[in-house]
Amino acid sequence: MLFTSTIIGALLSCALPSSARPAATAAITSNPYVGAVGYVDPEYVTNVNTSILLDPSITAHAQVVQTVSTAIWIDTIARLPLVASNLQAAAKIATAANPVVIQFVVYDLPGRDCHALASHGEIPVGGINTYKTQYIDVFATNLKGNIGPNVRVVLIIEPDSLPNLATNLATPACAASEEGYYEGVSYALSQLSMRGEWMYIDIGH
C-alpha cells in the first residue's frame, strides 16, 4: 500500500475535466514523512489518559504510545470541524526546520463498510449528494486556508471501499454501493486535492 502519483493522477483524470486538473507538483511524488515531526492528536492523548485511569497497570506502556502520531478519523459529518482545529494547532508548532505531518482519514462514503458492517456509516446507499455537499465540500472548506507553510497533510481516502468492490460484489450491500463508491472516491480526490497535501488511496487488500 503506497502513495503513488500514477494511481492518483489516473483517478484525478477521471474525476476532473482537463481544464480543472491540478498541475503536477513535487509534493505528489515525494515522501511527506521524511524530515517531518508527526502531529499527536490531543483527542488520542485524552483517550490514552482515560485508559490509564481505568487500568493504572498499563501506565508505563501507555505513556509511550500516547506520544505516537496517529491518524485522525473524520468518520462522521459532526467531526469535520476537527480538520480545521487540528490544522491550526499543527501550524502553531511547525517550523521550517521541523515541519509537521498530520494525517486525516476521509471515511464517510454512502453505504460504508458494505461487507463486514463493522463500521457502518451514517450516510445510506444512494446518499451521494449528501456525501458530496455535507461531507466532502465541508471537508475541503476546513482544509482551505488552514494548511500552514510548514504543515504537510496526508489524507487517507476511504479505506477498504474500492477493495470491497474487487472482492465482495457478491454481497448485495456492496453491489448496491458500487456506483456510489466510485463516484464518491473520484469526487473526494477532485475536491480535496490542494497544495501542501498528499493522498493515499486504499486499492488492495
Cross-strand partners of 104: 72, 155
Contact 112, 121 (CB under 8 A): yes
**Residue 122 phi/psi, 5° resolution?**
-90, -20
Catalytic residue among 41, 108, 113, 160: 160
pLDDT at residue number 205: 59
Superfamily of domain 71-201: 1, 4-beta cellobiohydrolase (3.20.20.40)
Backbone φ and ψ of 68, nearest 5°:
-85, 135
Q: Is 160 a catalytic residue?
A: yes
Neighbour tally for 59: CB within 10 Å: 13
Closest by Cα among 145, 161, 160 to 196: 145
pLDDT by residue for the chain (205 residues), tens only, comes to 344 333 444 444 444 433 333 333 334 448 999 999 999 999 999 999 999 999 999 999 999 999 999 999 999 999 999 999 999 999 999 999 999 999 999 999 999 999 887 787 899 999 999 999 999 999 999 999 999 999 999 999 999 899 999 999 999 999 999 999 999 999 999 999 988 899 999 887 5
